[in-house]
Amino acid sequence: MTVTTPEPGHPASKAILIADDHPVLRRGLAALIESEPDLSVCGEAATRAAALKAIRATRPDLVIVDLLLGDDDGLDLIKAMKIHHPKIPALVLSMHDESVYAERSLQAGAMGFVSKQQLDETLLLAIRRVLKGEMYLSEKLEARLAMKYLGGETMETDASLEALSDRELQVFRLIGEGHSTRQIAKLLNLSVKTIESHLEHIKHKLTLTSSVELAQRAIQWIESGSGDR
């Protein structure tokens, strides 16, 4: 965890905390944010625990959250913020598939979702919009959600993956990354039996008949880029 003391002379700047496990990306984000006179970076964190500690220490105006924080899950950080720091908004910045993860992020409590491929004016626009108390969504996502809640889902999406719970999708991603059941249990601090139960639920929801099929489907999903950071 890195905590930064804001420089004097910028009393009106909004403090941003960056929660991302990539040091190079954090430096790039910090440089982009610090180049704006009305924004400043008050701290950085690479894990869920470090992020929560930094939030308590710095009381930021906004937290930028990656969905993968080392072995942690960014969605869990957002949910914890919703409980312990409900007035501090979260903005997700991720390489994850928007069609799968954006709505989950919003349901967890995030105020917006931006692709890591948009580290430019789009991110700055999203930051300022969320700081004003507004949601930020891409035009494609806004259209998709509008169609969905009007009862006519027409935009391309992987409906079967949408049926998975957040934890099941997390386990599915880890399977695709090559982790064994025992390794996943250790990473998520859960019992092997619990992970096995999740795997059975995943197979049922995805209409897969074996663990081999499940692993193949998960690997294909990762290789397609849909499960990337």
**Residues sharing a CB contact under 8 Å with residue 128, sequence separation 6 or more, in sequence order:** none
Instruction: Give this prediction's pTM.
Output: 0.73
- Cα–Cα dist 28/118, whole Å: 12
**Residues sharing a CB contact under 8 Å with residue 49, sequence separation 6 or more, in sequence order:** 72
**Residues sharing a CB contact under 8 Å with residue 41, sequence separation 6 or more, in sequence order:** 4, 15, 16, 17, 18, 29, 30, 33, 34
**Residues sharing a CB contact under 8 Å with residue 7, sequence separation 6 or more, in sequence order:** 40
Report how far Cα 103 is from the mean position of its chain's Cα atoms.
11
Residue 15, SS3 per DSSP: strand
Write out the chain's pLDDT in tens, 229 residues.
Answer: 665 544 544 456 899 999 999 999 999 999 999 999 999 999 999 999 999 999 999 999 999 999 888 778 899 999 999 999 999 999 999 887 677 788 889 989 999 999 887 777 899 999 999 999 999 988 877 777 777 666 655 444 455 787 888 889 889 989 988 999 999 998 888 899 999 999 999 999 898 989 998 998 888 887 776 555 4
